[in-house]
Structure 1
Amino acid sequence: MAVIVPFESPSGASIDALMALVAPDLERVNATILSRTGSEVTMIPEVANHLISSGGKRLRPMLTLAMAQLAGYGGDGHVKLAAAVEFMHTATLLHDDVVDESELRRGKLSARMLWGNEASVLVGDFLLGQAFCMMVEVGSLRALDILSRAASVIAQGEVMQLAAAKNTATTEDEYLAVIRGKTAELFAASCEVGPVIADRPKAEQTACQSFGLNLGVAFQLVDDALDYGGKSAKLGKNIGDDFREGKITLPVVLAFRRGNDTERAFWIRALERGEIRDRDLDHAIALMTKHRALEDTITRAEHYGAMAVDALALFPSSAMRSALEQVVAFCLARSH
């Protein structure tokens, strides 16, 4: 199992404080993950561990542990729920790479490139099955309800994205609905289950859910901007992958809406028809710069980040609350 290294953004915002606070529990999560990927079918642990141990920050399971700690939870169910969250996330990545025909994941060859699409899909299904086994073992019907509903919403979000793919007529509201489903919902569920198993008041459960949902939207919007203005090492994939795959993300939506007829014709040719020529990516970035599409995408991300921080105001000041506020700053600072 890979060691998760501290990660700091150029602005100094960091998730190190959160990692330090949840470190003992995270060790237990990692041990659980390792034991639950074991199988007599050799390919299952090979494919699963290729992605699970590939340097991901474990942000979602860390949020589960953090919120349980913030809520004063004294049991050990949060460890299994955090591992379940990581399995759900990994399963969606395996499935996403097949749908998107991605060659890279976190800077390495994707599982589908090494073992094929069939193995990637089936191992993803195995991980989902293991995730649900752990949820049941925790014995909280409400936590099971939250995470199982999240799995359904994530799948719906993926289908919505498929329907919106290569469609330049996609509106900002439609796109935000997609990312709420495919990205933000798991963040929200990851954060909500902690206070649920701690049997905290509904207001605290809702606050944690709101923190996760808004953080998840901000996180994805920053990723969208980074695909056109970041560095490969930061993304774990090639710059411009979204463009080459014909994905309609918020920077595209904004640039398309604000462009003239000639510029819109470019987006239609490149994204809808997939007729991408040399230097088209440079032209796309130039149009986004001209129309402030990347800048405004980050501004929207900052808006959601502010709502995430506001959701924490219900809780008294503490080292954990401060660490969670730093997580928001870290996610936003990746854009700089």
Structure 2
Amino acid sequence: MSRSREGFKGGGRRRGRGERAMVPDAEFSSYYGRPILKKPTWKPLDVGGYLFLGGLAGASSLLAAGAQLTARPALGRTAKVGAAGAISLSLAALVHDLGRPERFLNMLRVIKPTSPLNLGSWLLAGYAPLTMAAAAADVAGRYRTAGAAATGCAAALGPAVATYTAVLLADTAVPSWHAGHRELPFVFAGSGATAAAGWALLTAPVDQAGPARRMAVLGAVLEVGAFRLMTGRMGLVAEPYEEGRPRALLRTAEVLTAGGAVLAARAGRRGRALAAVAGTALLAGSACLRLGVFRAGVASAEDPKYTVVPQRERLEAAG
């Protein structure tokens, strides 16, 4: 990460009645035109998929445990298979972004409590086999006791799996991620819940999908509410969420998530087709949110303004 000092350039701006500002508008840059922060080099599709699929997996494990406790076998099976498949694809996306599988394995050589990435790697290493054992036991119809235990353990880790990536992003110096550290885990929790509900609505029988419909509504309220609270509190560094491609992705996510939740609430009465439409909208909305958050963070790292101005405001407040 470079530590170049910022420079200023720009001309005065015309005011009302022909007056010229005495102090020119500041345009932030750094020596040699290099950004103050080194922007994330992660591949958008790999990391966006990793973020989305992890949320889907973690919330699906919770849904699977609830289905198991309430005797909804078809819902439980589809949630278990969804969790196992999603976490497998999430790990594949992570390894593909890292470039070589051994880079992931190298993170398991030590336990570092101060590193969200290290703890997240251990979390995935423990969680993924549990989801696969739970799904395999259910599909095979054997080892039911072991399968039930694996389902319960996966559900216990599910909330952490669904939200730890938010902690991972917020722990960086990227302005639009770091400034949202309070609310971003709740945004990702809601997004994971809507994704899991969407998968269940697509694949489970309508008469067993009641918990998925309720999860869709609660997840949508949490996701949209927490995201608006976050951007309303962040001030200047909320701008990247409201401009360009991130804005388009996030507005699309909000429409799809809210619309999908409304359709999900009505799907119990209207049959399979409406449930499928609702599930598709919820899955797409969750994916758009994760990718929009990722792209907004990259945009904030590219513009020195989002690093310099908040630092000066904090210094002035402390002084």
Shorter-chain TM-score above 0.5? no
How does the TM-score come out when normalised to structure 2? 0.38
Structure exhibiting the larger radius of gyration computed from Cα positions: 2
